[in-house]
Amino acid sequence: MNTDVTRREFLATVAAAQGAFVLGFWMPEKAQAQAPVPEINAWIVIDPDDTVTIRIAQTELGQGVWTSNAMMVCEELQCDWSKVRPQYASANRDAREKAPEWTLKVPGDGATDPRGGGEPTFGNRDRTGVSGIPDSLYRRMRTNAASSVKDGRYYLQLAGAEARERLLLAAAALWQVPVAELTARDSVVSHAASGRTTTYGRLAPRAAATPHPRPETITIKPPDQWTLMGTERKNLDVPAKVTGQTVYGIDIRLPGMKWAAVKACPVYGGDVKRYDFDAIRSMPGVRSAVQFPIPDPACTRGRIFSGGVAVIADTWYQAKTALDRMPIEWTVPPENAAVNTSMMRDALARAIAEPGRVRVNEGDVDAGFARAARIVEATYSTPYLARARMEPGNATVLVTGDRVDIWIGDQSPQETRFSASKITGVPEQNVHLHLCHLGGGFGRNGNGPQAEHAIMIANQMRGTPVHMLWTREEDFIGTTYRAMGLARLKAGLDADGWPIALDVRTCMQRDGFGPDASFDVTSRYYVPSYRYSSHTTRFHVPVGTRRGVGQAAHEFYRESFIDELARVAGKDPYRYRRELIARTNLPYKADMLKALDMAAEMSGWGTPLPRGKARAIALEERGAEGNGSATISAMVHTVSVSRAGKVRLERVDVAHDTGFGLVNPLSVKKQIEGQITWFYNDAMHQGTTIADGHVVEDNFNRFPLSRIAEDPPEINIRFFPTSHWLVGMGHDRATSVQSAIGDAIFQITGKRLRDLPYSKHDLSWS
Amino acid sequence: MAFDLTVNGRAHRIDADPQTPLLWVVRDHVGLTGTKFSCGIGQCGACTLHVDGRAVRSCSVPASTAIGKPVTTIEGVSPDGTHPIQMAWKELDAPQCGYCQSGMIMSALALLRDRPRPTDADIDARVTNACRCGTYHRVRKAIHLAADLMGRAR
């Protein structure tokens, strides 16, 4: 029951829902007319007119979660899909209520049981919400790790099933007939024997008032019984996105709201020494200036950002204009201010030469090298990378004596709730976080301090709603970075060109994410002797989980090296990969072979191409080292390079596994298309450098984003079924663009490039 | 410092410095938030709207340049999302996060006015908005579909 939701929270939640009111404006007087409708369970509210509201506990940032989460609930609810309306779940209730008992146990037998709930990853709760939250109302409110479907599916299906069963029980009680004689379909309950029917809308109040007697007996539908899941559904948030009606965090407007523009010290770890507010005091609209310290690392997952100062004004442009003219002096840690990219490269190179932490050591690598017919060695490097979502960081915060309200697009509201409480001293139970759509995410941005900045400012202006908005330049300072990386791969080949020993070393800063991805547990391509060590150093740049996490760079290293080995061996890179996978005993070996074969076949692998054009193939996998959840694909990229050195990704052929079933294949296709663009940018254009301790590429003139003219004219996607649940679709698909463009450049120009992005190299040929 | 601006066919009295970028006047004074801020330097196109029928990156032009000229934003394309370009976008499910899509649609609409049957090269040259989600593949198809739908309507 949601009777304890305050009127104010209800209003705000509704205001943030799409199309409910005039966009972005919080209008309590209008909302008053709508009385709350009783909910069936925490995920489902059914209005008398059969409108079904589904509470979504992940954030819609373009991945389609508003639609896929709703599909998982509605598959079981068996309601009329045309009357479904998603709405954000309340992060405040999540702080105050426990999850229903029936959501706590994952049904079935893990990742390879089609009838079960798969393999959700819930850690033990820690206070900040960084780890899993197994028992709070909405379980997992994070939007990260491509895991919204993997982790949420079973309990979202259960939520739909529990509500359906209660609606059926309500009808059985109403008609005094056995529940087994009733059917539910498209929001109608029917009793065939008597010909009676009624609607969910009419049954809802009774169902809402009557708990299910034995919810633990409710089961979820396996994929062979799905009728809604597995079908292509257009995304429910799209209509509002073509009319400008969608409410992002930046669009929030509140009565009496002031705007804050922010400058944080560009050198991480730096702080404000002094600023001269008097110099701008009389500028139009300017109200005040507010200083804030380096955000408490307890609120930013240990990352050290910077202190800064905000100018408060009636409009944001006034605030920003005044801030630009306000003299500010910084206190900068000299050791950080001395850092630049070339020093960091040197430090990585030193660290990778040291003995690292050996994670895998199979066979005898050194003996293998000693008897190898040929040794191949290559060093690859990848730069720091920003996420650069299109919506700059922002949050609107109102702090009063005993309550905090935050309007924000946020990938980790449970963490932000913790931050709000820590900064203001208001208990988490009184923090009301109103989720908005996000203008891109690409890595849990809760670990950047957009919310913390806004809360620290608003906490000094209690009673006034403050909308803090970063400039693009501030967004580049405030984001966390994908760690800069280095890898050294060394293989000993036998006389036939097959690897007999492989030594892999990867290196990134100590707090970088995914340090073992793609190389952990076992080599994916067969080699009798394999050693893998990870190496670290310390840098001051704050790093976080960016799309692809460790997989993105590491698959670039691995697949590039396999291409190099195949070339040295004089073998076809597709058949070379195929043979090396076939020699393994990996549990999903057949799936990887299927992906390679299908992508090769789709692409016309082996058929002649004109000079200046080449194909390259690569395998993408997450989870192939184990026998749990996995996502497996292969892609062939057809690439041209003009004599002047202009690269064009011409065509992409994608063979992708579905696991036991995709929830919304349309969203999956969009995710694959989008990630082709993402990793094309990683491969070709993007790199963040550090000078004097600060980020150099701080806007899109220096951190380029590809445009439609570079989009591949042809993308072909085919799916094949596999016998495991997927890990996820949102972040490490199409990593192959990186190695494939590299190998195509090699085929066409003879140049082997191992340092991303490629555009910084001369790619011309004659 | 007040001045008059006509946005989506409605006259507005604006009490702001006329040198304020048109984007911020539209968002904060007119109150239409469909037009987005992203880079602030005219690079990405998220702020694209029409002034006198031409696509303009509104973060980088003063509002004064639009005085006396009709301004059209995403909210003015149609009252209910049924303009052929919006229908095409919905049919192809083009947006992902959607943040750049207002600007993308406004750029595409200006192109379609000038070239009712745009080639891929026309699209490459004229629709230079940045999309971080990578919706380009569907956006291109949607522009061609919109051209078909608009051609049929003529």
Q: A156 CB contacts (<8 Å, ≥6 apart)?
A: A43, A69, A72, A73
CATH code for residues B2-76: 3.10.20.30
Residues of A in contact with B96 (CB under 8 A): 62-64, 670, 674
First to last CA, chain A: 72
* Cα A372 off chain centre by: 42
From A438, A469, A500, the end of a domain falls on: A469
| Residue A448 in domain | yes
| Residue A668 in domain | yes
Determine the pLDDT at residue A32.
Answer: 40
Euclidean distance between CA atoms A400 and A241, whole angstroms: 33
From A221, A241, A261, the end of a domain falls on: A241
Q: Same structural domain for residues A583 and A651?
A: yes
| Residue A274 C-alpha, separation from nearest chain B C-alpha, in angstroms | 27
| Residue A4 in domain | no
For residue range A114-158, what is the model confidence (pLDDT) as tens digits?
A: 999 999 887 655 656 555 566 899 988 888 878 889 999 999 999
Euclidean distance between CA atoms A673 and A667, whole angstroms: 10
Q: Same structural domain for residues A85 and A122?
A: yes
Q: Same structural domain for residues A433 and A556?
A: no
Chain B interface test: which of A26, A232, A243 (most B C-beta within 10 Å): A243
Q: In total, how many domains does chain A have?
A: 3
Determine the pLDDT at residue A147.
Answer: 85
Within 10 Å of residue B119's Cβ, how many Cβ atoms?
Answer: 10
| Residue A44 in domain | yes
Residues forming beta bridges with residue A31, ordered by sequence position:
none
Question: Is the Cβ–Cβ distance between A253 and A469 less than 8 Å?
Answer: no
DSSP line for A584-646: S--TTHHHHHHHHHHHHHHHTTTS---TTEEEEEEEEEESTTSSSS-EEEEEEEEEEE-TT--
- Put simply, the answer to whether B41 touches A701 (Cβ < 8 Å) is yes
Question: Is the Cβ–Cβ distance between A348 and A484 less than 8 Å?
Answer: yes
CATH, residue A363: 3.30.365.10
Burial A137-169 (b: 16+ CB within 10 A, else e): bbbbbbbbbbbbbbbbbbbbbbbbbbbbbbbbb
| Residue A353 in domain | yes
Q: Same structural domain for residues A453 and A582?
A: no
Within 10 Å of residue A412's Cβ, how many Cβ atoms?
Answer: 24
Q: Same structural domain for residues A526 and A639?
A: yes
- Of all residues in chain B, the one with the smallest CA distance to A678 is B134
Side-chain half-sphere CA neighbours of A726 within 13 A: 31
List the structure tokens of A50. 């059969």
Complex-level ipTM: 0.98
- Put simply, the answer to whether A242 touches B100 (Cβ < 8 Å) is no
Euclidean distance between CA atoms A320 and A326, whole angstroms: 10
Q: Same structural domain for residues A552 and A404?
A: no
From A172, A206, A241, the end of a domain falls on: A241
Determine the pLDDT at residue A9.
Answer: 42
Question: Is the Cβ–Cβ distance between A728 and A147 less than 8 Å?
Answer: yes
Q: Same structural domain for residues A380 and A398?
A: no
The dihedral of CA B102, B106, B108, B109: what is its sign? positive
Question: Is the Cβ–Cβ distance between A468 and A292 less than 8 Å?
Answer: no
Q: A266 CB contacts (<8 Å, ≥6 apart)?
A: A306, A330, A477, A693, A694, A695
Q: Same structural domain for residues A130 and A275?
A: no
Classify domain B84-153 at the CATH class level.
Answer: mainly alpha
- Of all residues in chain B, the one with the smallest CA distance to A666 is B93
Euclidean distance between CA atoms A37 and A48, whole angstroms: 9
Reported as type and span, the H/E element at residue B5 is strand B2-7
Residues of A in contact with B16 (CB under 8 A): 315
For residue range A62-113, what is the model confidence (pLDDT) as tens digits?
A: 999 999 999 999 999 999 999 999 999 999 999 999 999 999 999 999 999 9
| Residue A266 in domain | yes
Determine the pLDDT at residue A659.
Answer: 97
Range of the domain at A697: 342-385+482-760
Alpha carbon distances (Å) from A375 to A355, A505, A569: 20, 16, 11
Q: Same structural domain for residues A273 and A157?
A: no
Question: Is the Cβ–Cβ distance between A635 and A654 less than 8 Å?
Answer: yes
Chain A contacts in chain B segment 94-123 (CB below 8 A): 94-102, 105, 120, 123
Determine the pLDDT at residue B78.
Answer: 97
Q: Same structural domain for residues A177 and A204?
A: yes
Q: Same structural domain for residues A288 and A159?
A: no
Euclidean distance between CA atoms A438 and A390, whole angstroms: 9
Residue ranges for chain A with pLDDT beneath 50: 1-33
The DSSP output letter for A136 is B
Within 10 Å of residue A238's Cβ, how many Cβ atoms?
Answer: 23
Domain boundaries of chain B, sorted by first residue: 2-76, 84-153
DSSP line for A299-319: GTTT-----EEEEEESSHHHH
Residues of B in contact with A62 (CB under 8 A): 95-98, 133
- Put simply, the answer to whether B99 touches A391 (Cβ < 8 Å) is yes
pTM of the model: 0.95
Q: A35 CB contacts (<8 Å, ≥6 apart)?
A: none
The DSSP output letter for A215 is G
Determine the pLDDT at residue B154.
Answer: 77
Q: Same structural domain for residues A651 and A551?
A: yes
Chain A interface test: which of B7, B29, B36, B96 (most A C-beta within 10 Å): B96
Euclidean distance between CA atoms A151 and A350, whole angstroms: 40
DSSP line for A493-560: E-TTS-EEEEEEEEEEETT-S-TTTTTSSS-SS--SEEEEEEEEE--SS-B---TTHHHHHHHHHHHH
| Residue A31 in domain | no
Chain B interface test: which of A262, A315, A390, A698 (most B C-beta within 10 Å): A390
| Residue A12 in domain | no
Reported as type and span, the H/E element at residue A652 is strand A647-657
